[in-house]
C-alpha cells in the first residue's frame, strides 16, 4: 500500500496540538523541567538553523529584488508608479499594524512573560540617533555577517544591488551568480521550513509547560490584533485606492478579486497564487501587459500583510520580554519591516524568517519567535491574502494612471 504523506500545514497543526497537550500535561504534573531539558533543545536546534539562514536569505533576496526592480527602468513610468504604490501602501500597513499593536498593548492585552535566564533583552534602548545612523554603515562586510547586524546587511545589499545595476552589462556574470546562489539559499530555506513541525512541537510544549495555559489566550489575542489590522488595511487602503485612483467600485473589486484572495488564504503563497491573481486582475479590467509586470513583481516585493504581521509580532514579542518600545524604535520598526517585507519571498512561511531579521535589528532575542511560531500558519493565511489583494489593486491603479497619461481616460 502506498503511504500517503501528510502535507506540511497538517504536520504543523498536529505538532501544534500535540505540543499544547504535552505542555499542559507537563504543567499540570509539575514536569516543566522535562520540557526545558529534553524538548526545548530540539527547538533550539531549529532556531539556530533559522538564525543561520537569515543573513544569506536577507542579503541575496534583497539584491535579487533590487536587480529585478532595475529592469523596470526599461518599463519606465509603469515601473516607478508601481514602486511608489508598493512603498506607500507598505508603509501605511506598518503604521496600521503598529497602531493596533499599541492599542492592544496599551490595553494590557499583551503579556510580559517570566523568561528564563538567557532570554532577557540585551538590546540598546537609548542609542543616540547619530550613533544609530553611523552604526548602520558597515566598515567590514564579514563582521556585519558574523554579528548578523541586519541594518548593515540591508545596506550592503542595497549597495551591491545598486552597483550591479550601475555596472550594466559587465555585471551579467555577477547577476547570474547571485541569482543562482539565491536559488540555493531558497532551497535551504525550504528545507529548514520542512523541519518546522519538530520546532513547533518542542517549543510549544515548552512554552505552554512553563507559561501555563494562559499563553494560548495571549496567542489568540495577538492573532485577533493582526487580523483586525489586515481587514482595516484592505477596507481602508485598497477600497480607497481602487475607488479614488482606478474609479472602481470597492465591492466589485473584492468580489472579483475573491478567487485570488481565497486561493492565497489557503495556499499561503503569493507566488503560487499568481495564475489566479492574473485571472482576477483581468476580470477587473487591468491592462494585460501592466498586470503581467505588476503581479509577478508584487508577488516578490509587495507584502503589506507581511509588514503588518511583522509590526504586530515585534511589539508583542517585545512586550513578552518586558520591553516597552519608544517612538524612535517604532520608526525603526516601520523602516525595517518595510524592507523585510520587500525581501520576503512569496512562499509559505517566509515572512516568519524575515521576522527574525526585524527582531535582530531591534535587539530582541530571536528565540522569542518560538512563542508565536506554532500559530504562524494562521498569521500567514491572512497576510498572504492581503499581499495578493494589494498586487491586484496596484495593477488596476497603474492601468488607470497610464490611461490618463495617454489621454484615454
Residue, CB closest to ligand ASP: 351
- Kindly tell me which of 164 and 357 has the beta carbon lying closer to ligand ASP: 357
Separation in Å, CA 40 to CA 206, 367, 379: 6, 11, 23
Where helices occur in 268-323 by DSSP H, the ranges are 270-283, 288-301, 304-320
Residue 314 CA to residue 102 CA, distance in Å, equals: 11
Taking the complex as a whole, how short is the minimal distance between the CB of residue 389 and ligand ASP, in angstroms? 11
Listed in sequence order, the residues at least 6 apart from 96 whose beta carbon sits closer than 8 Å to its beta carbon are: 229, 232, 233, 236, 308
- Kindly tell me which of 347 and 370 has the beta carbon lying closer to ligand ASP: 347
- Kindly tell me which of 26 and 339 has the beta carbon lying closer to ligand ASP: 339
Q: In the chain, what is the straight-line distance between the N-terminal and C-terminal CA atoms, in Å?
A: 62
Taking the complex as a whole, how short is the minimal distance between the CB of residue 309 and ligand ASP, in angstroms? 6
Taking the complex as a whole, how short is the minimal distance between the CB of residue 80 and ligand ASP, in angstroms? 23
Residue 281 CA to residue 276 CA, distance in Å, equals: 9
* Interacting residues toward ligand ASP by CB under 6 A: 268-270, 303, 306, 344, 346-351, 380, 383-384, 387
Taking the complex as a whole, how short is the minimal distance between the CB of residue 144 and ligand ASP, in angstroms? 24
- Kindly tell me which of 245 and 263 has the beta carbon lying closer to ligand ASP: 263
- 8 A C-beta contact, residue 366 and residue 356: yes
At 185, list the grid cell. 539559499
- Kindly tell me which of 350 and 372 has the beta carbon lying closer to ligand ASP: 350
Taking the complex as a whole, how short is the minimal distance between the CB of residue 36 and ligand ASP, in angstroms? 29
Kindly write down the DSSP assignment for every residue of 110-122, as one continuous string.
S----PPTT-S--
Using alpha carbons, select from 314, 302, 324, 328 the residue that is nearest to residue 356.
Answer: 314
Taking the complex as a whole, how short is the minimal distance between the CB of residue 247 and ligand ASP, in angstroms? 27
At 222, list the grid cell. 495577538
Taking the complex as a whole, how short is the minimal distance between the CB of residue 251 and ligand ASP, in angstroms? 24
- Kindly tell me which of 197 and 346 has the beta carbon lying closer to ligand ASP: 346
At 398, list the grid cell. 497603474
Taking the complex as a whole, how short is the minimal distance between the CB of residue 265 and ligand ASP, in angstroms? 10
Separation in Å, CA 75 to CA 70, 366, 393, 403: 10, 40, 19, 15
- Kindly tell me which of 280 and 344 has the beta carbon lying closer to ligand ASP: 344
Listed in sequence order, the residues at least 6 apart from 373 whose beta carbon sits closer than 8 Å to its beta carbon are: 196, 199, 200, 203, 352
- Kindly tell me which of 92 and 164 has the beta carbon lying closer to ligand ASP: 92
Amino acid at each position: 500500500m502506498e503511504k500517503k504523506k501528510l502535507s506540511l500545514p497538517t504536520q504543523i497543526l498536529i505538532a501544534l496540538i500535540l505540543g499544547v497537550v504535552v505542555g499542559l500535561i507537563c504543567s499540570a504534573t509539575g514536569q516543566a523541567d522535562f520540557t526545558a531539558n529534553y524538548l526545548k533543545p530540539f527547538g533550539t536546534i531549529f532556531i539556530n538553523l533559522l538564525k543561520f539562514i537569515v543573513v544569506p536569505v536577507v542579503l541575496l533576496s534583497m539584491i535579487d529584488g533590487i536587480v529585478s526592480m532595475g529592469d523596470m527602468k526599461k518599463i519606465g513610468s509603469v515601473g516607478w508608479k508601481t514602486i511608489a504604490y508598493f512603498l506607500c501602501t507598505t508603509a501605511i500597513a506598518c503604521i496600521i499594524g503598529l497602531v493596533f499593536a499599541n492599542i492592544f498593548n496599551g490595553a494590557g492585552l499583551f503579556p510580559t512573560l517570566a523568561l528564563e535566564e538567557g532570554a532577557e533583552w540585551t538590546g540598546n534602548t537609548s542609542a543616540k540617533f547619530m550613533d544609530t545612523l553611523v552604526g548602520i554603515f558597515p566598515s567590514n562586510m564579514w563582521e556585519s555577517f558574523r554579528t548578523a547586524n541586519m541594518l548593515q546587511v540591508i545596506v550592503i545589499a542595497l549597495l551591491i544591488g545598486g552597483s550591479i545595476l550601475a555596472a550594466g552589462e559587465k555585471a551579467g556574470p555577477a547577476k547570474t551568480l547571485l541569482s543562482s546562489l539565491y536559488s540555493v539559499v531558497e532551497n535551504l530555506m525550504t528545507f529548514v521550513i520542512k523541519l518546522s513541525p519538530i520546532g513547533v512541537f518542542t517549543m510549544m510544549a515548552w512554552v505552554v509547560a512553563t507559561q501555563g495555559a494562559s499563553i494560548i489566550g495571549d496567542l489568540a489575542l495577538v492573532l485577533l490584533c493582526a487580523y483586525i489590522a489586515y481587514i482595516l488595511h484592505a477596507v481602508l487602503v485598497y477600497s480607497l485606492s481602487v475607488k479614488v485612483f482606478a474609479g472602481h467600485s470597492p465591492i466589485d473589486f473584492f468580489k472579483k478579486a475573491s478567487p485570488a484572495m481565497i486561493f492565497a488564504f489557503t495556499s499561503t503563497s503569493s507566488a503560487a497564487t499568481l495564475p489566479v491573481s492574473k485571472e482576477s486582475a483581468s476580470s477587473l479590467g487591468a491592462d494585460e501587459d501592466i498586470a503581467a509586470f505588476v503581479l509577478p513583481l508584487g508577488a516578490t516585493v509587495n507584502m503589506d500583510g507581511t509588514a503588518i504581521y511583522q509590526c504586530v509580532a515585534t511589539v508583542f514579542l517585545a512586550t513578552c520580554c518586558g520591553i516597552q518600545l519608544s517612538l524612535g524604535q517604532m520608526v525603526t520598526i516601520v523602516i525595517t519591516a518595510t524592507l523585510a517585507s520587500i525581501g520576503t519571498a512569496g512562499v509559505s512561511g517566509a515572512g516568519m524568517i524575515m521576522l527574525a531579521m526585524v527582531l535582530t535589528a531591534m535587539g530582541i532575542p530571536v528565540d522569542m519567535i518560538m512563542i508565536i511560531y506554532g500559530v504562524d500558519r494562521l498569521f500567514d493565511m491572512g497576510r498572504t491574502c492581503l499581499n495578493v489583494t494589494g498586487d491586484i489593486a496596484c495593477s488596476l491603479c497603474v492601468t488607470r494612471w497610464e490611461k490618463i497619461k495617454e489621454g484615454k481616460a
